[in-house]
């Protein structure tokens, strides 16, 4: 009877640990939505400033 009780305790503890591990794994997989996992960063756009216009000649 003692051996049977110890076997049951081992199974309950093992099942509890496996359940906690499964819940943890599923929660880690569902943290990011799939749409965000495939997004690429925006392209880098380099803008070159235009040269300043020469000063206008004074009106006569």
**What is the predicted pLDDT for the residue at 37?**
56
pLDDT digits over 33-60, tens only?
656 556 777 889 888 888 776 677 776 6
Span between the terminal Cα atoms of the chain, in Å: 117
**What is the predicted pLDDT for the residue at 42?**
82
pLDDT digits over 5-37, tens only?
999 999 999 999 999 999 999 988 887 665 655
The phi-psi region of residue 50 (left if phi > 0; otherwise alpha if psi is between -120 and 50; otherwise beta) is beta
**What is the predicted pLDDT for the residue at 32?**
66
**What is the predicted pLDDT for the residue at 20?**
97
Task: Give the H or E element holding residue 11.
Answer: helix 2-29
* Angle 29-32-37 from CA coordinates, rounded to 5°: 105
Q: What is the dihedral of CA 49, 54, 59, 60, to 10 degrees?
A: 180
3-state secondary structure of 34: helix
């Amino acid at each position: 009877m003692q051996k049977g009780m110890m076997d049951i305790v081992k199974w309950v503890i093992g099942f509890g640990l496996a359940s906690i591990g499964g819940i943890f794994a599923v929660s880690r997989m569902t943290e990011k939505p799939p749409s965000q996992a495939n997004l690429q960063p925006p392209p880098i756009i380099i803008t070159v400033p235009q040269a300043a216009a020469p000063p206008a000649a004074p009106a006569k």
